[in-house]
Amino acid sequence: MVTAQTFAPQGIEVKNPNDGSTVGHVPEYGAAEVDQAIARARTASRRWGALSHVQRRKDLAAFRRGLATQAETLATLVHRETGKPKVDAMSEVLLAIQHVAHAASRAEEVLATRTVSSGLMANLKSTVSYHPLGVIGVIGPWNYPIFTPMGSIAYALAAGNAVVFKPSELTPLVAVEVAKIAQQTLSVPDVLQVVTGRGPAGAALARGAVDKIAFTGSPATGRKVMMAAAERLTPVLLELGGKDPMIVLPDADLDKAAEAAVWGAMTNAGQACVSIERCYVHDAVYDRFVDKVVAEAREVRFGADPGAHIGAITLPAQVEIIKRHLEDARDKGARFLLGGPDAIEGNMVPPAVVVDVTDEMQLMQDETFGPVLPIARVKDGDEALSRANRSRYGLGSAVWGKSGVRELADKIVSGMTTINTVLAFGSVPTLPFGGIGESGFGRIHGDEGLREFSRTKSIVEQRFTIPGMNFFTFKVPPNLYDQLKGMAEKLYGTAVLDKASEVLKKLHIL
């Protein structure tokens, strides 16, 4: 387990993307160290999983308080490792702590054993119970190095599991600090461990003897994680990329929509899986909307200055992807009303507003992950919906307007949608978070997040016997065939069952 004592000027050097300065060093662990961490977690999981929900809630409350007490330290590390402004870093820390609090508060109720209807088998008592999986491997991203992984870690811990967390090699220091706080506040040692390293450490965790892998990152790496996990048939939860669309209808509040579009596309320098990466605007308001967007985007301050709204691109290789998308769009006829490939200097990418875009451009198909807002003109809501759904991704989305917005939101093929706001689903701890298609599968956050890290077990108990109605034996009456046929006809071929069900529901029996 990584602790403060393991820091040394060797292994991985962590740099501040804003100025290139060294933030710190962490060890570079390999497969042997990862396997050792998993073994320690296995021992810890037995003790942690045996605790009552009440005791785990008390432990997680202490963990929550420890995180809150060290919020400034955590936010400073996030700021220095990612290059994002301090206020964004503190917002991320706050949201991470919120998930710890919510997961702990909901676990007892959500994971309580429940009795369900036994259908025709009225003599049977049927129950569903939830149990810890054991050891969860979490592989986190660099863009939100505490908020995103905590969306898995908090719910896994609350469900009774131990966690081995492998952070990005670009942002490991905040993870080390979180592990130190866990070691100081949780009653079971090694229930949350951090293993620092590069790709081989992540691969070792995916191949290791864990009971589930939760991965956040690119679809390409997600495929590798699945292949590694397949060796042990380890289940995986994948939160991958997005190409989130925003639709603006003619009756939308254009001032608020433009403001939200710029923020949604450019917050964290566009380095969010749920960034607004495509905007489809009704022809009737297109020109006015574009003018308002450009005016808003001109006010976005970028750079290393403490007062900047957005900082550097954290991953140097991502700059080349952003530049390639912008150049491809320019070569295919797009116009830049602000920014563009020639405005990029080093790892600083200024805000870009792009028009005359077509769906054949990389900018409209592939995840850009930068402060770029492409805007397309559409003739109506149907065209906007059709083009919004023309994607291999399906993470988040947004609809702006008044008439018919809920119906349109329901028809967008994505895991999450906002109406007259953007990105808000990530800030609501009660909502399940996740996507479809190449955006991944599985859900973190909310009640679904707790059950995602639990093993569901069905138990049936015979309460009494019904003469002539024992179907689980070869000793059956000779007329059983006719009895079953009669039941099928009377129960399911008429309205008798419908009426009976209504009565039973009113009596709260079904």
Q: What are phi and psi of 354, to 5 degrees?
A: -125, 130
DSSP-H helix ranges across 171-307: 173-185, 199-207, 219-230, 254-266, 286-298
Beta bridge pairs of residue 374: 354
Beta-bridge mates of residue 246: 279, 398
Q: Which amino acid belongs to residue 204?
A: A
Tokens of 70: 């060290």
- Return d(Cα 46, Cα 367) in angstroms, integer: 41
Q: Please list the residues that pair with 140 across neighbouring strands.
A: none
Do 437 and 426 touch, CB atoms closer than 8 A? Answer: no
At position 128, the amino acid (one-letter code) is: V
Residue 273 annotated to the active site: yes
With 0-12 CB in 10 A as exposed, 13-18 as middle and 19+ as buried, what is 250?
middle
| Active-site annotation holder among 169, 273, 367, 452 | 273
Q: Which of 33, 239, 296, 438 is catalytic?
A: 239
Strands 124-132 and 398-400 turn out to be unpaired
* Three-class SS of 495-507: CHHHHHHHHHHHC
192, 172, 160: which is closest to 82 by C-alpha? 172
Alpha-carbon span 122 to 235, nearest angstrom? 35
- Describe the strand order of the beta sheet including 418-419 as a list of residue ranges: 335-338, 352-355, 372-378, 276-282, 244-248, 398-400, 418-419
Residue 70 gets which letter from DSSP? T
Instruction: List Cα–Cα distances, 135 to 56, 129, 160, 221, 272, in angstroms.
Output: 16, 19, 9, 22, 28
Could you tell me the two tokens for 89?
């870093």
Taking the C-alpha atoms of residue 286 and residue 297, their distance in angstroms, rounded to an integer, is 16
Strand pairing category for 454-462 and 236-239: unpaired
Q: Please check whether residue 278 is in contact with residue 244, taking contact to mean a CB–CB distance below 8 angstroms.
A: yes
Strand segments (E) across 315-430: 335-338, 352-355, 372-378, 398-400, 418-419
Catalytic machinery residues = 239, 273
